Amino acid sequence: MRLLRRVVSSYSNVFSRSMSSSCGRTVMSFGDGNQGALGLPTSLTGIGGDAYEPTPVPGLPADVSNVSAGHYHSLAVTSDGALWAWGRNNESQLGRGGVLEPRDTWNLPKRVEGLDQVNVCAAFASGVVSSAIGDDGSLWVWGKSKRGQLGLGKDVTEAMVPSRVEALAGEKIVKVSFGWGHAIAQTEDGKLFGWGYSADGRIGKLGKALESSPLDSNIDASERNQELSTSTIEAAEKLVLEGMEKEKDMPIIWEPCLVEELNGVEVADIVCGLDHSLVLCGNSILLSCGSNVYGQLGREKQDMGMFPVDINVRPIVIGSGLGHSLAICQVPSSDATGGATNLVSWGWNQSSQLGRAGPENTPLLVEGLEGETLVSVSGGRVHSTVLTSKGEVWIWGCGKNGRLGLGSSCDETEPMLLDSLEGFEVLQAVSGFDHNLVLVAE
């Protein structure tokens, strides 16, 4: 591991010096490289190797404008509207014309095919599906999902190349977020659409009676709490897979539908966890819906559907991991400007991904970020990341496979500054399940 750290550090230092004479942007990655999501050459990490510190991804243009980290793959948008992808491709989520390339080529960034007539301005990824938003507000999707996550029509479970979501053709989409099998999209004028697997009300009321998922009903509350308090991450994953197998008659919404509960309410931000959703309204009310097996809904009201999170500060930006939820909030301050922010977290805390102690199902402030102005937040499977206005990245939770970028596999119970990025201006920081991407400029 020490040898790998020296190689990674050396590679980063050489790259930093080469950037000093240019004004380009660079994507860096770190964490689990097993699925190729890091985009790093095998000569550096070995096939499927991990990166324990932020390391430049070679082969990308110097004008990347934004990035997205899926569960096991990555996307990068350039300023001229092109989209690049790398990582897992078993479900054709890389958009390479339906070609399933050998696993040892997954780590090579390549342009997504079939978007030549689309000026891509943003991209979003899940585990098995990728998406792109055109500057005209069009939504394009590709990959495979038996849960209707593509939104392309009844029984359409795969799209080998980017396909436009025609059900949203009359809308201008600005953001889309994916769970394991569900999806929600936000329009420029503040409407919310949902589609895919609808159990537990994870996409709100869409004209059908809400029903619970076998994933939540296969064990009672006392057994679940005992399981979660003593299990490893692998055991928790096994629980998820067992529940998925029991979902034989899946309630699926095959095309995007307007979410009824929010009729007349402006939506300001959206995010999906594995099987829950958060919706921030323009009036600063934060709503949650879906599974609450980890307390990720953050509310005492357990009814299915969208209801307010029990939070006593004003949320302004939201994020989510697999089973935990995050919100950047404005907090009371003696400063005359009143612009202080902090982070509130709740939900699954198996590996300290909440960054604080206390009741897991109750939204509470994360200590250690006082005095920082937080601008974005992102969650992985069992870790969390925030970006500050100073271009600094703070990270905590599970350190396995180097996913914290701190040079070790150790877990961190509270936010730690990612000081290896000193000297770079970080423009964006996002977390996939077990890997991370940072977009930097110098």
- Burial string for 112-122 (b: 16+ CB within 10 Å, else e) reads bbbbeebebbb
Quick check: 231 pLDDT over 80? no
With bands split at pLDDT 50, 70 and 90, how would you rate the model's confidence at 100?
A: confident
**How long, in residues, is the chain?**
442
User: What residues pair up with 436 in beta bridges, in sequence order?
Assistant: 30, 431
357: its two tokens: 């102690």
Quick check: 235 pLDDT over 90? no
With bands split at pLDDT 50, 70 and 90, how would you rate the model's confidence at 212?
A: low
Kindly report the number of other CB atoms within 10 A of residue 163's CB atom.
Answer: 18
Q: Is 406 left (phi over 0), alpha (psi -120 to 50) or beta?
A: alpha
* Average pLDDT rounded to a whole number, residues 322-347: 85
pLDDT in tens, 128-163: 999 999 999 999 999 999 999 999 999 999 999 999
Strand order in the sheet with 286-290: 267-272, 276-281, 286-290, 307-308
Quick check: 210 pLDDT over 70? no
* Average pLDDT rounded to a whole number, residues 48-61: 94
354: its two tokens: 């909440």
Q: What predicted TM-score, i.e. pTM, was given to this entire model?
A: 0.87
Q: Is 130 left (phi over 0), alpha (psi -120 to 50) or beta?
A: beta
Residue 187: its pLDDT value, please?
98
With bands split at pLDDT 50, 70 and 90, how would you rate the model's confidence at 331?
A: confident
Distance CA 40, CA 111 (A): 16
Residue 7: its pLDDT value, please?
31
User: What residues pair up with 140 in beta bridges, in sequence order?
Assistant: 132, 164
The answer to whether the beta carbons of residues 125 and 75 sit under 8 Å apart is: yes
**Cα dist from 264 to 21, 184, 434, whole Å:** 51, 17, 38
Quick check: 370 pLDDT over 50? yes
Q: Where is 178: in which H helix or E strand?
A: strand 173-178
Quick check: 342 pLDDT over 80? yes
Handedness of CA 146, 147, 153, 159 (dihedral sign): negative
Average pLDDT, the chain: 88
